[in-house]
Chains A and B, each alone.
Chain A
Amino acid sequence: MGEPRLIEISPVTRVEGHGKVTIHLDRDNQVDEARLHIVEFRGFERFIRGRLLWEVPVIVQRLCGICPVSHHLAAAKAMDVIWGVDELPPTAEKMRRLMHYGQVMQSHVLHFFHLAAPDLLFGFGAPAEKRNIFEVIKENPELGRRAVMMRKFGQEIIEATAGKKIHGTGAIPGGINRNLPIETRDAFLKTIDDMENWARDALALARGYSLEHAELVNNFASFPSNFMSLVRAGDGALDLYHGNLRALDSQGDVIFDQLDYRDYHEKIVEDVRSWSYMKFPYIRDIGPEAGWYRVGPLARMNTASFIDTPLADAALKDFKSVTNGAPNNAALNNHWARMIEVLHCVEKIKELLHDPDLQGTDLEATGHRREEGIGVIEAPRGNLIHHYQVDEKDQVTYCNLIVSTTHNNDAMNRAVKDVAVKHLSGHEQITEGMLNHVEVAIRAYDPCLSCATHALGQMPLSVELFDADGALIDSRAQAA
């Protein structure tokens, strides 16, 4: 019998932000406790107070460099309400949607090809020096090229709608500050069919992985949970930009549906724990023990009744057929779900590019000022809630943000524990490859830890090993 140990994985790699994993092993090398800690803190909710309301969509997007558009749009939607605008001019809403589809596309492509593909192509236990995008490109240059070109396309859509590829200024309270010139539209139309074909190929790749590795996928960090996302008002279709909230339990039964997101606080409670800067939200009616839930691509495939673009809808039906329509619980199927969404985004972009409203000149609306606004959007990583109060001097007095990674906090911790128990328990020697299994489970959620704590940092992951008395006895850190 050996001594109890603490393993620390710090930093966690190929995710955004800075986090670490601690794993406590007992004297028999059995996993006693495993946790994902978020070790950064930024305090956006506090320092945004006092700023002027029209600055907010530009300031809060600095939470993140990967999907700033999500924060930009969620904040703009909240400020629309404060601006007194319930319905944007069609050009404004469609330009914002175009921006959003561009960013979901680029973010998902980034995650699938650049961050996750090395694990999927080379194996979770492959040598660390092999698990990176450069090896993917070396092994499959065409795949690598497409990954770069698809991401570029998404980024250029963002630039055309927001003025910059990262941290633009397109959405303003009550509208948008630009339309899409014909020549820009025509440039996108030249490559949109390539994007569609490549998105289909990427979907086939992700689907193939899930089906060919069904045993691994169905047993790796796979557990029943509740799921939540926006769905389109009325028909429950997938809608990444706007809609009402729907939550289903692990059987697919409705917890709440078509809930006006302005009432989110009646259904969602944010819990705090002493060992993480990230909150733990749960569904109030179910309670803190069993009320945790998942958001993101997998959740959206489970909650959406259908998809309103034909290719993605066929892919969704195929996805649902694997579980005979029941919720899909396998975290690794997030990759498959992500690629369905990429195809959906490409279809939506194509549809919008043919819409003459994008060349409209009615860009802004105004209305009777309100003091409070809530904006909700489906970010690439899942549901994103922005909530503000503004005084009569136009200054923010209150801000609450619940980001996708926060919604997924409990689920990611359970995934870490699940994988640690299955892959680390009973082993005297803990290898780097074993620890990567833990990271793969976290990575499946594509977490953005900076957003989750509204915090600044790089994202390297670390794993710590504690003895039975809680003393740190070993740690493994991976280079960022």
Chain B
Amino acid sequence: MTDQDITFTIDGVAITAKPGQTIMEAADDAGVYIPRLCDHEGLRHQGGCRVCTVKANGRSVAACTQPAAPGQTVENETPHINKLRRDLVEMLFHEGNHLCPICEASGNCELQAMAYRLEMGEPTKFPYLEPSRALDASHHDIALDTNRCISCGRCIRASKDVDGKGVFGYVGRGIHRRVAVNGEDLAHTDADASDHAMSDEVCPVGCIIRKRVGFATPIGEREFDKGLIGYEIEGKRRG
């Protein structure tokens, strides 16, 4: 700890933040997990999905973009906040076609894992929008099933900021906004299987599919078979 470090609390736990760190960054370092979907290590923060909503001194903020402030009191795992998060996740399920039983991302999918963490039951609260989007299998190594896209924008940021390409971008406005490729289809972009945007870790769901991998990883050995989403961050605290 240095003189510049900031101290605040999350759910009563004392947290030390370096100057300029967001609430989420400081929490991650301290082993306190704040749920998130659009945020991903190594990509710039977006504050889009709002699943990381916390209450800082009683005000709702996105933990991924809100700087940590001295003496701040942050509420994270409260029934009220988790209900808001659960509603947000439920709406994401209703916006797309998320058929976990037949999706090759099942077990590795952050949306599914978040639903388990937030104890989402059968989603019945909102109407299903049931989009009908053709699968783009034009690229030799990658397929896109945008029925599963949650518009987190991680692929957009990874392609632009890390790969320097701009394969993906948002199109449309409001409820019609969605991720699209910068070309007739993926084969007509400069997408490559070695792009960071195409890596397993960037797409949180089963939208960006690396071809010919499928179900090669058995049930029981998938990422979230090891623990609830956030287990690695929480593991730091438990030591």
Question: Would you give the 0/1 interface string for B42-63, flagging 1 where the beta carbon is closer than 8 Å to chain A?
Answer: 0000000000000000000000
Q: How large is the interface on A (under 10, 10 to 19, 20 to 34, 35 or more residues)?
A: 20 to 34
When distances are taken between beta carbons in the complex, the residues of chain B under 8 Å from A50 are 134-135
A172 in contact with B143 (CB, 8 Å): no
Q: Which of B5-13, B30-38, B109-117, B210-218 contacts A (4 or more CB under 8 A)?
A: B210-218
B101 in contact with A167 (CB, 8 Å): yes
Question: Would you give the 0/1 interface string for B117-161, flagging 1 where the beta carbon is closer than 8 Å to chain A?
Answer: 000000000000000001101100001000000000000000000
A172 in contact with B135 (CB, 8 Å): no
B214 in contact with A393 (CB, 8 Å): no
B215 in contact with A394 (CB, 8 Å): no
When distances are taken between beta carbons in the complex, the residues of chain B under 8 Å from A59 are 102
Q: A55-B102, A55-B104 are in contact. Are A163 and B214 (CB under 8 A)?
A: no
When distances are taken between beta carbons in the complex, the residues of chain B under 8 Å from A169 are 215, 218-219
In angstroms, Cα B135 to Cα A57, docked, is: 18
Which residues of chain A (57-116) have a CB below 8 Å from chain B? 57-59, 62
The yes or no answer to B220 lying at the interface (CB within 8 A) is: yes
B135 in contact with A395 (CB, 8 Å): yes
When distances are taken between beta carbons in the complex, the residues of chain A under 8 Å from B143 are 52, 394
A178 in contact with B218 (CB, 8 Å): yes
B215 in contact with A393 (CB, 8 Å): no
Interface centre among A52, A59, A164, A178 (most CB of B within 10 A): A52
In angstroms, Cα B120 to Cα A290, docked, is: 56
B135 in contact with A52 (CB, 8 Å): yes
Which residues of chain A (120-176) have a CB below 8 Å from chain B? 162-164, 167-170, 172-173
The yes or no answer to B27 lying at the interface (CB within 8 A) is: no
When distances are taken between beta carbons in the complex, the residues of chain A under 8 Å from B137 are 52, 393-395
When distances are taken between beta carbons in the complex, the residues of chain A under 8 Å from B213 are 54
The yes or no answer to B26 lying at the interface (CB within 8 A) is: no
The yes or no answer to A177 lying at the interface (CB within 8 A) is: yes
Q: Would you give the shortest CB distance from A161 to chain B, in whole angstroms?
A: 10
Question: Would you give the 0/1 interface string for A32-72, flagging 1 where the beta carbon is closer than 8 Å to chain B?
Answer: 00000000000000000011101101110010000000000
Q: Would you give the shortest CB distance from A49 to chain B, in whole angstroms?
A: 10
Total inter-chain residue pairs, C-beta < 8 Å: 53
Question: Would you give the 0/1 interface string for B198-223, flagging 1 where the beta carbon is closer than 8 Å to chain A?
Answer: 00000000000101111111111000
Q: Which of B138, B214, B216, B217 contacts A55 (CB 8 A)?
A: B214
When distances are taken between beta carbons in the complex, the residues of chain A under 8 Å from B216 are 172, 177, 364
Q: Would you give the shortest CB distance from A352 to chain B, in whole angstroms?
A: 19
Q: A59-B102, A62-B101, A393-B137 are in contact. Are A177 and B209 (CB under 8 A)?
A: no
In angstroms, Cα B216 to Cα A170, docked, is: 8
Q: Please tell me the number of chain B residues within 8 Å of chain A, measured between CB atoms.
A: 19
Q: Would you give the shortest CB distance from B155 to chain A, in whole angstroms?
A: 19
B101 in contact with A172 (CB, 8 Å): no
Question: Would you give the 0/1 interface string for B86-108, flagging 1 where the beta carbon is closer than 8 Å to chain A?
Answer: 00000000000000011010000
B220 in contact with A393 (CB, 8 Å): no
When distances are taken between beta carbons in the complex, the residues of chain B under 8 Å from A162 are 219
A163 in contact with B218 (CB, 8 Å): yes
Which residues of chain A (347-399) have a CB below 8 Å from chain B? 364, 393-395
When distances are taken between beta carbons in the complex, the residues of chain A under 8 Å from B211 are 52, 394
Q: A169-B218, A177-B218 are in contact. Are A54 and B135 (CB under 8 A)?
A: no
When distances are taken between beta carbons in the complex, the residues of chain B under 8 Å from A173 are 214
In angstroms, Cα B212 to Cα A170, docked, is: 15
When distances are taken between beta carbons in the complex, the residues of chain A under 8 Å from B214 are 52, 54-55, 172-173
Question: Would you give the 0/1 interface string for B215-233, flagging 1 where the beta carbon is closer than 8 Å to chain A?
Answer: 1111110000000000000
In angstroms, Cα B178 to Cα A429, docked, is: 64
Q: A54-B215, A169-B219, A172-B214 are in contact. Are A393 and B138 (CB under 8 A)?
A: yes
Question: Would you give the 0/1 interface string for B152-177, flagging 1 where the beta carbon is closer than 8 Å to chain A?
Answer: 00000000000000000000000000
When distances are taken between beta carbons in the complex, the residues of chain B under 8 Å from A395 are 135, 137
In angstroms, Cα B134 to Cα A177, docked, is: 29
The residue on A at minimum CB distance from B187 is A393
When distances are taken between beta carbons in the complex, the residues of chain A under 8 Å from B220 are 163
In angstroms, Cα B220 to Cα A395, docked, is: 28
Q: Would you give the shortest CB distance from A383 to chain B, in whole angstroms?
A: 25
The residue on A at minimum CB distance from B213 is A54
Q: List 8 A-B contacts (CB under 8 A).
A: A50-B134, A52-B214, A55-B102, A55-B214, A62-B101, A169-B215, A173-B214, A394-B137
Binding site for A on B (CB under 8 A): 101-102, 104, 134-135, 137-138, 143, 209, 211-220
Query: Which A-B residue pairs are the 4 nearest by beta carbons?
Result: A163-B219, A54-B214, A393-B137, A169-B215
Q: What 10 additional pairs, Cβ within 8 angstroms, besides A163-B220, A167-B101?
A: A52-B135, A55-B102, A55-B214, A58-B102, A163-B218, A164-B219, A169-B218, A172-B214, A177-B215, A177-B217
